[in-house]
Structure 1
Amino acid sequence: MHVGSGTSSGACLSLLFRKGERPEAEAIARTVETAREGGLVASVSYRPDPAAGWLELLASGLTFDLAGLSPLGPAPAVEVYQAFGFDRPCAVAELEAVQLVPSGHILSGAGLLPVMRTMMGLAANLVLHLPVAAVHWGAAQTLMEPRYFSRLMLNWLAGGAFPSLGLTAFSRAPDGSIGTRGLAHFTGQEMQLEASLHESDSDTARLAVRVIDHLVRHGGIAQAQTIGQWSDALLLEPSKVGKLVLVWRGG
């Protein structure tokens, strides 16, 4: 699935709008001011000529560029691997993208949790105040329903679990194991969870979410380690091939 031309990846978060609804820079400035009244710690730090179609936002001492604003054309395309939170399929090809990315001087640290948490909090607040139709995360090529996205991110920022079902995607291997897509952006490694014949798909997904949260909180691993106890124990070990954490059942 595509929007416009090109592709989006890495630390790019795309806010997708119906045609004719992409905001102008002035609308973003008003939105940020409104969100500030609700507690958002952010401001417009640089606004070029409106015809440039972008501006810079400052949040928690970090700067982010918002590009693809009207009247300029939309930001580059998105490719969707997995979608979350929609009641029905989202017609992505009919939407136009506005991209939120870390500014150049912090781009090298785009995978660091403080940067990601600030960026996701900023995006969640913008989504609550704009007619966003869908949210796309480039590192995992995931598409999220706007309210689902904001709820997930704000819960994470309030101390909840890492939003695995949105900032990562899952895939099933022929042997039934679950692999991640996009986790490496945060930990430097993807994850592969061993399948179980005595477990439902939903239970396996919940276990994968638990492991992902552990890895994001503690970082990638260089040597084998165990989490949990007894029959619930899991063995995590780095693969000898590629940047991958293999997760084995202990019970």
Structure 2
Amino acid sequence: MQGRAGISLLFAAGSRPTVGDIETLLDVQASAGQTARISHRPEDEHGWLELLASGLTFDLRGLAPGRAAPLPDASHVYGLSVDQSATALEAVALLPGPHIAGGAALLPVVRTLLRLGASLAMELPVTAVCWNPAGAWMDPKYFTRIMFSWLSGGPFPALGLTALLPHADGGVRSAGLDFFIGQELHLGRRDSEEGTDTLKIAGRIIDRLVAHGPLQRAETFAGADGELLLAEPSADGRRIMVTRSA
């Protein structure tokens, strides 16, 4: 899980920010009341910084003049054209620091990391943002909008921090939810239901699961329009199967 954590900020080749650029940007943000600051600065050629935000430390790696961070796979794409996701890009990675890496999936860590990442993405010439646990590449404006919405009390951004993929039975399955709860979701689809409605229902279920943790036993709860949903963990506990009332 630790190796999957964090986000990657993707830049056109040759346009990654320098260590000095980040220092200047954080100074400007601090003057506006934001609290992230540099807590450790190695020599610039190493290309990384340790940042402190809300009492937690994060590593920002891949800064110029050092080597770029590894480029993540584009397993799922939101708001980007295929051409954009395939252009020559270089990555800067924002990762939980070593002291908190074991708790990388805890919501306070995730929320602080995403708040910091979104603030950087708003100010830097970012071409795309990847949430590494799901391999989800996003348009920077889409990323910042859904993250700030969630951080302000909105729903969990299922199409971004997880992916929802079509299943052979007409329903959807999640990818990346296991980072948060150790389980993936499979939601069946009703014949009369539009695909977008299935996605909305899956998103509401994911929002609940992320807030309450993994499903340990069968549970029923109300879906849209009073529909009854039956959620059950699979025999191995790694999947949540949700069936629909007739």
Is 1:17–2:11 an aligned residue pair?
A: yes
1:100 aligned onto 2:94: yes
Change (3 A) 1:39 1:246: farther
SS in 2 for 1:104: coil
After superposition, residues 227-238 of structure 1 pair within 5 angstroms as 227-228=221-222, 231-238=226-233
Measure how far apart 1:176 and its partner are: 1.2
Q: 1:9 to 1:138 in 2, by over 3 A?
A: farther
Q: Which amino acid counterpart does residue 104 of structure 1 have in structure 2?
A: P
Structure 2 residue 234 is matched with structure 1 residue 239? yes
Q: Distance in 2 between the 1:79 and 1:242 partners?
A: 27
CA distance in 1, matches of 2:166, 2:3: 22
Counting only pairs closer than 5 Å after superposition, residues 1-251 of structure 1 correspond to structure 2 as: 10-86=4-80, 89-228=83-222, 231-251=226-246
Equivalent position SS for 1:150: helix
Give TM-score, length-normalised by structure 1.
0.92
Kept in 2: contact 1:83–1:144 (CA 8 A): yes
Task: Give the Cα separation in 1 of the matches to 2:115 and 2:20.
Answer: 21
Give the residue type in structure 1 aligned to 2:215: I
Structure 1 SS opposite 2:174: strand
Q: Distance in 2 between matches of 1:92 and 1:56?
A: 30
Taking structure 1 as reference, are residues 89 and 165 closer, same or farther at Cα in structure 2, changes over 3 Å only? Answer: farther
User: Aligned pair count?
Assistant: 244
Structure 2 length normalisation: TM-score?
Answer: 0.94
Q: What secondary structure does 1:21 align onto?
A: coil
For structure 1, the residue ranges without an aligned partner over 5 or more in a row are: 1-7
Distance 1:38 1:248, change over 3 A: farther
Cα distance in 1 for partners of 2:27, 2:148 equals 19
Offset of 1:233 from its aligned partner? 2.1
Shift of 1:87: 5.8
Q: Per-residue deviation at 1:242?
A: 4.8
Runs of 4+ in 1 over 6 A off after TM superposition: none
8 Å CA contact retained: 1:9, 1:138: no
Tell me the C-alpha RMSD between the 2 structures.
1.6
Percent identity of equivalent pairs = 44
User: How far apart in 1 are the matches of 2:54 and 2:22?
Assistant: 18
- Per mean C-alpha deviation after superposition, the further-off stretch among 84-93 and 58-67 is 84-93
Q: Distance in 1 between matches of 2:73 and 2:186?
A: 23
- The question of whether the paired residues in 1 share the 8 Å contact of 2:48 and 2:60 is answered with yes
Is residue 46–residue 57 contact of structure 1 (8 Å, CA) maintained in 2? yes
Cα shift at 1:85: 2.0
Q: How many Å separate the matches in 2 of 1:62 and 1:37? A: 20
Task: Rate the CA distance shift 1:84–1:9 in 2: closer, same or farther, 3 A.
Answer: farther
- Match for 2:64: what amino acid? S
**Residue 232 of structure 1: CA displacement?**
1.6
Q: What is the SS of the residue equivalent to 2:199?
A: helix
Partner amino acid, structure 2, of 1:128 = M
CA distance in 1, matches of 2:88, 2:3: 20
Provide Cα deviations, 1:211-236, integer angstroms capped at 9, x if missing partner. Answer: 11010111111001112167422111
Deviations 1:98-117 (A, max 9, x none): 00100011000000000000
Structure 2 unaligned spans of 5+: none
